[in-house]
Amino acid sequence: MKNKQIEKAILNLISDPYDKDNCFYGHIIAQCEIHIDDTFDGIAGVGYWNDMFQLYINPDLFTIFTLKEQKAILIHEAMHIIFNHISRQSDKVHLQWNIATDAAINQFIDNLPEGSIYPETLGKEKDKYAEYYYEYIDINIIKRCCKSKISTNTCCSGKLQDDEIYSNIDSHTLWDKSSNDKNDNFSKQACQSMIDKAIEKSIGNIPTPVQKALKLLNKDSQVPWQKILKRIMGNSKKYFEPSYKKVNRRFPNRIDLPGKKAIFIPTLVCIVDVSGSMSNKEILKGIIEIQQICKLTNHKLVVIQVDTEVQDITTTDFKNHKFTRNGCGGTELYPAVDYINKNKIDNDILVFITDGHFGFYSWLKMPKVPMLFLITDKNCKINLPTKRSYQFVLE
């Protein structure tokens, strides 16, 4: 490394006498392959290839900032690595994911340059993962985040660029270059081993945000269950709905006639375990997830409450519906499945909300449709009964 100022910032991070957490992040940065590149389009940025995390720094832009801000920018990069934001991007909309990831990590970093994005900027609460902010960013906020870049960075471009460019403290453009299925697994492993080394070097001190990141890394699946659901939904039945946004194919000049919009609607049946071992809080956690599905499908679903027998059946889109718990007995989920079979309730996907304290031995007829088990007890793991079943721990 040739640039003295950048070197100083990294060393200062590693041996920060005032903040042990900084030491940890410094050791993450030190394990990257560092490229000082004055043609790099951004202050800094990380990527993953050649089995290594790559850190790019544009010296001309980086050295404009004070030492405190430089350290904050480096921590920002370290956190993108630790939280595995590169591979978690997968098929998300980049612009939205860029803003969401920045909001997710900036809340833990002091001394960031002015104009950085925080959960407050998005009108959202703190302490959530990037996926959460991603789901809830609305278009106006995206526009605002992008515009703030334009007004502060006009000096670089000379004129206004189009609205869809977001680059705040750093550039996330290297993420696209990094991401592919093969890399994703390796980057996860590389990230884990980097964290292990940094823990060792900073004598066991693990900053709180890193503890969260570790939890995420160690989760059974990095794939959010909504993604699986979306994939299954793609294969479900299709029907057409009139839409004025689409041109009418038979009469393309008649703007007064609606066109057709294809919609995929799977029939979703949600089975809620209301046995005594499920606390109301656990049930609520699951219901919040189900509300998200309704938002996703914009369609009603069937909710069945079950303990040792079916306690309640409701068809709802949760818009004007409050969930009321019925039942508090032993844990059995099969009565709900049995009920669906006997009453021939249409179903393409079964979603179970349960603490996982049940067995499949009583399941006489195994459903053939995909089953998603959303587990509320993080210490519980179930033995999945079919190839088309999945389990996810609700955080």
Of 107-115, 164-172, 200-208, 372-380, which segment contacts Zn ion by CB under 5 A? 164-172
Q: Which residues contact 357 (CB under 8 A, 6 or more apart)?
A: 275, 277, 331, 377, 380
Strand 44-49 versus strand 389-393 pairing type: unpaired
Lay out the sheet containing 33-36: strands in order across: 33-36, 52-57, 44-49
Residue entry with tokens 């070097």: 201
Q: Given the complex with Zn ion, which of 161 and 173 has the nearer CB atom? A: 173
Of 100-108, 239-247, 265-273, 314-322, which segment contacts Zn ion by CB under 5 A? 100-108
Q: Given the complex with Zn ion, which of 113 and 259 has the nearer CB atom? A: 113
| End-to-end CA, the chain | 41
Q: Given the complex with Zn ion, which of 109 and 287 has the nearer CB atom? A: 109
Q: Given the complex with Zn ion, which of 207 and 370 has the nearer CB atom? A: 207
How many residues touch Zn ion under the rule CB under 5 A: the total is 2
Give me the least distance between CB of 82 and Zn ion, in Å please: 13
Backbone angles phi, psi at 76, to 5 degrees: -55, -45
Of 167-226, which residues contact Zn ion (CB under 5 A)? 170
Give me the least distance between CB of 75 and Zn ion, in Å please: 11
Residue type, 118: Y
Q: Which helix (H) or strand (E) holds 260?
A: strand 259-264
> Is 107 an interacting residue with respect to Zn ion (CB under 5 A)?
no
Give me the least distance between CB of 38 and Zn ion, in Å please: 20
| Residue showing the smallest CB distance to Zn ion in the complex | 170
Q: Given the complex with Zn ion, which of 114 and 181 has the nearer CB atom? A: 114
Q: Given the complex with Zn ion, which of 89 and 305 has the nearer CB atom? A: 89
> Is 84 an interacting residue with respect to Zn ion (CB under 5 A)?
no
Q: Given the complex with Zn ion, which of 105 and 393 has the nearer CB atom? A: 105
> Is 102 an interacting residue with respect to Zn ion (CB under 5 A)?
yes
Give me the least distance between CB of 11 and Zn ion, in Å please: 23
CB 274 within 8 A of CB 309: no
Radius of gyration of the chain (CA): 25
Q: Which residues of 63-92 are buried (b: 16+ CB within 10 A; e: fewer)?
A: bebeeebbbbbbbbbbbbbbbbbbbbbeeb
Residue entry with tokens 């294809």: 262
Give me the least distance between CB of 37 and Zn ion, in Å please: 17
Q: Where do contacts with Zn ion occur on this chain (CB under 5 A)?
A: 102, 170
